[in-house]
Amino acid sequence: MRILVTGGAGYVGSTLVPLLLAQGHHVRVLDSLKFGGHGLLPCCEYRTLELMKGDICDDAAMAKALEDIDAVIHLAAIVGYPACKKEPQVAQTTNVEGTRTLLKHRKPDQKVLYASTGSIYGSVPDYICNENTPRAPITLYGETKGAAEQMILESGNSIAYRFATAFGVSNRMRLDLMPNDFTYQAVKNRNIIVYEGGFKRTFVHVRDMARSFVFALENWNSVKDDVYNVGHESMNFTKEDVARKIMKFVDYYLHFAEVGTDADQRNYEVSYEKIRAKGFEVTIDLDRGIEELVRAARLIEFQNPFANV
């Protein structure tokens, strides 16, 4: 299969692209390379890798990228609350107008797989969200991803995945993800300060995110034209839970602050029954992912670009 991955040099893309190449697919990556392309260096052995540097909002670049493509995995976005707050206009343009540009040039027979987010649920502390829960995003990130998701689903021959909060080691690391950030702080600084420790999120490992796209491609007729939460109920944890799990692997000081708030007020639990009924299961739990993150944190020096956002 000939697959276009937008944003393929990013956190999820640099995990997904090698997986697709190893399965024998021809993979074309369209990426602005805003954060560089080092995450794809391990893929250079494959002659079936094609890299196009370009912006998804550029009509000419998108039209060219879509030539002779069977399926599009649309990852390109300004991702997360901090990044969207830092560059709100860029986030609106990339996440919404970039998706509109993709759909304008995409042919009806080209499958579209969209990376949406559980952030569109907002703060729903009183019950478990499912795919029919009304969208109520409380951040610009959630708003823009929700708008793009709706366009994708209305276009047909498509799916949208509402991913739990991503975490785990990737060739293009991110520290604006809570488990990644907490683990890095514990290893490097030997302390973590936690605000509003009772707020709950659900998590999914980046390798399971990559696997979910492969699953959809292999089961397209069963899953197409629908939206799915991607994660697992066993991965619903509070911020305090995550911090205490890290203590199993790192000796550090944990402080719960009584004064102060986390700017990202998401607080919800999610059901993943729908995609599980289709046959997809996650494979990496939080403990295993944190153990890998501890090893990674000891290998790298990383500056979080959103630390003061």
Checking if the pLDDT of 262 tops 70, the result is no
Give residue 309's pLDDT: 46
Where do the domains of the chain lie, and which CATH numbers do they carry? 2-167+203-232 (3.40.50.720), 178-202+234-269+284-297 (3.90.25.10)
Q: Where are the beta strands (DSSP E) in the chain?
A: 2-6, 26-31, 49-53, 71-74, 111-117, 123-129, 158-163, 165-167, 191-195, 200-205, 226-230, 236-238, 253-257, 267-270
Report which of residues 75 and 86 the model is more confident about: 75
Convert the pLDDT of each residue in 18-42 to its tens digit. Answer: 999 999 999 999 999 998 999 999 9
Convert the pLDDT of each residue in 188-217 to its tens digit. Answer: 999 999 988 888 889 999 999 999 999 999
Convert the pLDDT of each residue in 178-190 to its tens digit. Answer: 999 999 999 999 9
Closest of 226, 244, 235 to residue 286, by C-alpha: 235
The answer to whether the beta carbons of residues 267 and 199 sit under 8 Å apart is yes
pLDDT tier at 259 (50, 70, 90 boundaries)?
low
Convert the pLDDT of each residue in 41-70 to its tens digit. Answer: 999 999 999 999 999 999 999 999 999 999
Give residue 199's pLDDT: 83
Give residue 267's pLDDT: 65
Checking if the pLDDT of 162 tops 50, the result is yes
Give residue 80's pLDDT: 84
Give residue 308's pLDDT: 46
Give residue 85's pLDDT: 87
Checking if the pLDDT of 260 tops 70, the result is no
The runs of H, that is alpha helices, within 164-300 are 178-188, 206-218, 220-223, 239-246, 273-278, 286-297
Average pLDDT, the chain: 92
What mean pLDDT do residues 240-253 have?
Answer: 96
The answer to whether the beta carbons of residues 119 and 177 sit under 8 Å apart is no
Q: Three-state SS across 121-140? A: HCEEEEEEECCCCCCCCCCH
Convert the pLDDT of each residue in 124-133 to its tens digit. Answer: 667 788 999 9
- % of the chain at pLDDT higher than 90: 79
Checking if the pLDDT of 294 tops 90, the result is yes
The rounded distance, in Å, linking the Cα atoms of 236 and 231 is: 9
- % of the chain at pLDDT higher than 70: 93
pLDDT tier at 302 (50, 70, 90 boundaries)?
low
Give residue 213's pLDDT: 98
